[in-house]
Amino acid sequence: MYDKVMESVRYIEEKINLKPEIGVILGSGLGNLTDTLENKQYLDYKDIPNFPQSTVKGHQGRLVFGLLNGVKVLFMQGRFHYYEGYSMKEVTYPVYVMKMLGIKNLIVTNACGGINTSFEPGTLMLINDFINLMGTNPLIGENDERFGPRFPDMSEPYDLKLIEKARDAASELGIDCKEGVYAGFMGPYYETASEIVMIGRMGADAVGMSTVPETIVANYLGMKVLGIACITNMATGIQTVKHSHERVVEIAQKASVKLCSLVTKIIETI
């Protein structure tokens, strides 16, 4: 794994003459966050040695490098989901690459379902903790100490200072931003009503099918993580209409205007 990651890193460093300081993983429908980047440079996943490929509609598969208000940023346009059939190591592969490219701060975004009834579609939620309900995790297997410790601490998976910065940025922009716990479910089906009752009782405010693996690996690698969830629908049983991926993407695209100004502002302060 280490050698594979380093091969990807060497390829990227050969092609791209910008050393990113911050990484951003974009969720469903949030891909246009890269619109405001300057001096953009692209690398398709398919061209990067050892990189997995994306298969979901609404997810492009490329890395976008550029400047956001002068800060060097790497955006991942299209992520890998466990439900697509990738292994957990593949799902989190780009996080290893980001770390080895020198990135210390990672912003993870996603589209997800709201469980907390004070939320509504379009609400942004700063993630303050996660519950891993994916039935596995990306650190299973032999450990390579060059990456991180065998038993990583997970007491602050989302960096409290970054959350504070995000909170301040939101209030400066007049964006109403909630905070809460994200439960990662395996997917790809939208949960049953009873599963949502269960997850809600566990303490989750939102549920989705991503983010948790990347957060675990980023913490393992010693990176600081900020998670921003976009509530695209209320979860099963709370919302009475049936779910549709098209609707999820549509709401995410609408909310991405807010998310874009928030992420830009946060990046200025990191």
CB 191 → ligand HPA: shortest distance, Å? 6
The b-or-e profile of 80-109 (16+ CB within 10 A means b, else e) is bbbbbebebbbbbbbbbbbbbbebebbbbb
CB 96 → ligand HPA: shortest distance, Å? 25
Nearer to ligand HPA, 111 or 139 (CB): 111
CB 181 → ligand HPA: shortest distance, Å? 14
By CB under 6 A, tell whether 191 contacts ligand HPA.
Answer: yes
Segment interacting with ligand HPA, rule: CB under 6 A, options 70-78, 99-107, 168-176, 183-191: 183-191
Give counts: helices (H), strands (E), the chain: 7, 9
By CB under 6 A, tell whether 248 contacts ligand HPA.
Answer: yes
Helical spans, DSSP H, in 40-142: 88-91, 93-100
Residues 205-244 that bind ligand HPA (CB under 6 A): 207-209, 232-233, 235, 243
CB 185 → ligand HPA: shortest distance, Å? 6
Nearer to ligand HPA, 86 or 96 (CB): 86
Mode of pairing for the β-strands spanning 224-234 and 105-114:
parallel
Q: Is 111 a catalytic residue?
A: yes
47 neighbors 129 (Cβ within 8 angstroms): no
Nearest C-alpha neighbor of 111 from the set 219, 264, 243: 243
Residue nearest to ligand HPA (CB): 113
Among candidate residues 210, 218, 234, 252, the one labeled active-site is 210
Residues 106-145 that bind ligand HPA (CB under 6 A): 111-113
Q: Is 243 a catalytic residue?
A: no
For the annotated catalytic residues, the residue numbers are 28, 59, 81, 83-84, 111, 209-210, 233, 245
